[in-house]
Structure 1
Amino acid sequence: MSVDGSLVLRVAALGDGLTEDGRHVALAAPGDRVDTDGTIHFGPHHQEPPCRHFPECGGCQLQHLDDATIADFVRDRVLNALEANEIVPDDVAPVHLSPPQSRRRAVLHAINGPKGPRIGFTKERSHHVIDMSECHVLDPRLFAMVAPLRALLGNRLAKGGAAEITLAIVDQGVDVAIKGARFEGLEGHDAIIDFAEQHGLARLSLDDGYGPEPRWEPRPVTISFGGIAVPLPPGAFLQATADGEAALIEAARGGIGDAATIADLFAGLGTFALSLGQGRRVYAAEGERALVESLKAGANAARLHAVCEHRDLFRRPLETAELDRFEAVILDPPRAGAREQSIRLAEAKTPHIAYVSCNPASFAKDAARLVAGGYRLRRVTPVGQFRWSTHVELVGTFER
């Protein structure tokens, strides 16, 4: 068969290869050629996927691409979103890609099958659970829990029943939270304790529909930012990898410079407030009360000059007069972005802004408001901490 097919030019947003004649071709890489019958002839940027579950498993979409192409994809996702809003940054930092087997937090699914529980990520755009026998994105300490959890859940799921398992690496080891499994009576209690002891867990929590409740926690579980230990509520949000988190922090550090007073908005547990706040005066606002209490405990223990406030920044953003008190603002909103807060920021006199985003599209819309208000987008740092995924993060730094 001829290899004079249509050339794949780039990778589209969902991971498909886009050809010169406008076709979207699954599992095609730039430089591949695609015949009219869909046959792909591999080019120089196509690599052998390392995992047997690819592409069926929805945890990865880009394992068929080499690292250079993945970096281009991450960068282009950010720049294309900015271009759509007529924004050109002064500088684009090199793309940061987290290495394989570095995911320190993941949510897996379990479902009762004819041969027992299947545990893994779900199939792309499906509720079908891929029974994980290997994984090249999870930290090995997390993957090591999959087989034991499969045995633990062997008779704990209803027929056709499903459970959700949240795994995280914390200061004390591995933290496990299970939602949807049945551990009833004394026998269920003993099974939990025996399992946690046998595998040296930092904590094991169960969620019966009313939120996770720790059933095993021999020592208070913490996570550290900038060397400051913070109490970690069960199931609380963490950056996916310690490596990616460090890249985001360093990019934000460059954006705020030597500012003596900073505001950390959508502060979470204090990833940025604690890592960058030492030696500065810090105000941190977060809408989830449990996270605020943890952040406050960590800041107080470290004797930081920090004020931590429980505040819904969607309904009650900081007003311009409040923002003008700070030399720098860091914000790390959810995927929807920070529309109301960015409107106020656009009118503020704050010299420096570091905007951390997990959604280039919402970031670009907020960036357009800031630029219209007189800020310059000095630098963007694209970050791909979800290895082989189409999920892209970034830090944009602005100056007035």
Structure 2
Amino acid sequence: MSELVVRIAARGDGVTASGRHVPFGIPGDAVLEDGALAFGKHHQHPPCRHFPECGGCQLQHADDAAYRDYLVSRVETALAQHALETEIRTPHLSPPRSRRRATLKALKLGNGVAIGFHGEKSHRIVDMRECHILRPELFALVQPLRALLGTLLKPKRGAEVQMTLLHQGIDVLLRHVSAEGLAAIEALTGFAMAQGLARLAVDTGDGPEPVYEPLPASIRLSGADVAFPPGAFLQATEDGEAALVDCVRECVGEERPVADLFAGLGTFALATRAAYAAEASRDTAAALKRASPATLVEHRDLYRRPLDTTELGRFQAVILDPPRAGAEQQVAQLAGSAVGRVAYVSCNPATFARDARLLIDGGYALDWVRPVGQFRWSTHVELAGSFSR
């Protein structure tokens, strides 16, 4: 007797009603008696030759409807673990070939260089020959990078390549690559000029050092040009950023003044004309301060020193966009504050749900959540949630 796959688990396996985990199963697929899958209507042919070997994607075999259901399920499951329910809005999906930042691994093997993402559940590099998630501008740089790193890396030595597409061009940060000696400097600057890079920086362990930057590298956020420090954080896709900004604006509404906590370069502070922003990275905080003189920007580690209830009392609305660990310390202070609205952007449904429970226990209502699939075909889920008193 066959079993139907009814959902996709957090790590991408299909799960039947009996709890059986089935690799590459999609809801609607049937698991036959011999363990083979009979594909249902939501099972699609993966577009990339590297799937499933490459760890950049886990769900290329799911069509858009199944992938949206997966994103909703991840959020519902995380909330349920804390006895929470709310409206889960239709997820936003970034289209293929829209990711504007990526970190690739490289390794010199023989006369060549392998460059790409690690294999699924492996440290082996899958040598990238096509990619359906990166912006074409980024993928076009992969082969030239092979040639460059072939001249700079010693045999069996690895490197990391961080690429970010700015409006001036591509910003490249190379880690574990030597920039010593005239020949190496000439190779790096020649590569940067030939590829029209916005900037090329190298980090040998003491922090990024630009070796080529014809004009100050910057990113445009809500109409403002913001200096972009090497290695800075940027939302993965432009459309995903716009979806999250729309969610934050809706949550905050006309409430003023607004505080943006874990503000980064000001993706949300600039969009909402925030009166105050806190950011732990000194260089990032300085970039936001220069771009938005009207915002009081504080270099502040909110894990060590969250805003207390007295400081929060200045604001009608607060925006949170913490790292994957969430914002438990700051949320505990918010729960005891009089702030009327909280917009919470998260890249981890589990820590979001934990923090949501604290806010709700402190008197907030979770009005709605919208999942955002910026990392298309991956198990990485982002979301925006709206809280109000």
Structure 2 length-normalised TM? 0.98
Does 1:136 pair with 2:125?
Answer: no
What is the 5 A alignment of 1:14-29?
Answer: 14-29=11-26
- TM-fit CA distance, 1:176: 0.7
The equivalent of 1:52 in structure 2 is 49
* 2:286 partner amino acid: E
For the residues of structure 1 that align with 2:179 and 2:292, how far apart are their CA atoms?
37
Does 1:96 pair with 2:92?
Answer: yes
Q: Is the 8 A contact 2:174 2:202 kept in 1?
A: yes
The residue matched to 1:154 in structure 2 has which SS? helix
* 2:239 partner amino acid: D
The equivalent of 2:112 in structure 1 is 116
* 1:311 partner amino acid: R
- TM-fit CA distance, 1:128: 0.3
The equivalent of 2:39 in structure 1 is 42
For the residues of structure 2 that align with 1:325 and 1:183, how far apart are their CA atoms?
49
* 1:250 partner amino acid: D
The equivalent of 2:363 in structure 1 is 374
Over the residues paired in the alignment, what is the CA RMSD in angstroms? 1.0
For the residues of structure 2 that align with 1:37 and 1:238, how far apart are their CA atoms?
46
The residue matched to 1:7 in structure 2 has which SS? strand
Q: Deviations over 1:103-160 (max 9, x none)?
A: 0000000011134110000001211000000000000000000000001111321221
The equivalent of 2:263 in structure 1 is 267
The residue matched to 1:296 in structure 2 has which SS? helix
Most deviating of 134-143 and 154-163 = 154-163
What is the 5 A alignment of 1:57-206?
Answer: 57-89=54-86, 91-206=87-202
For the residues of structure 2 that align with 1:258 and 1:75, how far apart are their CA atoms?
28
User: Of 310, 315, 320, which residue of structure 2 is paired with 1:321?
Assistant: 310
- TM-fit CA distance, 1:38: 2.4
For the residues of structure 2 that align with 1:260 and 1:340, how far apart are their CA atoms?
24
For the residues of structure 1 that align with 2:33 and 2:374, how far apart are their CA atoms?
35
For the residues of structure 1 that align with 2:127 and 2:250, how far apart are their CA atoms?
42
For the residues of structure 2 that align with 1:7 and 1:87, how far apart are their CA atoms?
28
The equivalent of 1:347 in structure 2 is 336
- TM-fit CA distance, 1:182: 2.7
Moved over 6 A (4+): none
Q: Is the 8 A contact 2:258 2:272 kept in 1?
A: no
* 1:259 partner amino acid: E
* Alignment gaps of 5+ in structure 2: none
Most deviating of 167-176 and 133-142 = 167-176
Does 1:283 pair with 2:276?
Answer: yes
- TM-fit CA distance, 1:92: 2.3
- TM-fit CA distance, 1:175: 0.7
The equivalent of 1:307 in structure 2 is 296
For the residues of structure 1 that align with 2:33 and 2:140, how far apart are their CA atoms?
44
The equivalent of 2:326 in structure 1 is 337
Identical residues among aligned pairs (%): 55
The equivalent of 2:221 in structure 1 is 225
* 1:151 partner amino acid: A
Q: Deviations over 1:177-231 (max 9, x none)?
A: 1111234311111111111111111101111111111000000000111010111
The equivalent of 2:380 in structure 1 is 391
For the residues of structure 2 that align with 1:24 and 1:65, how far apart are their CA atoms?
16
Q: Deviations over 1:329-384 (max 9, x none)?
A: 00100101001101110011111100000000000000000000110001111111
Q: Is the 8 A contact 2:110 2:155 kept in 1?
A: no
The equivalent of 1:8 in structure 2 is 5
The equivalent of 1:251 in structure 2 is 247
Q: Deviations over 1:294-345 (max 9, x none)?
A: 0101112xxxx31000111011100011111111000100101001101110
Structure 1 length-normalised TM? 0.96
Q: How many residues align?
A: 389
User: Of 238, 241, 248, which residue of structure 1 is paired with 2:234?
Assistant: 238
The equivalent of 2:352 in structure 1 is 363
* 1:336 partner amino acid: A
- TM-fit CA distance, 1:93: 1.8
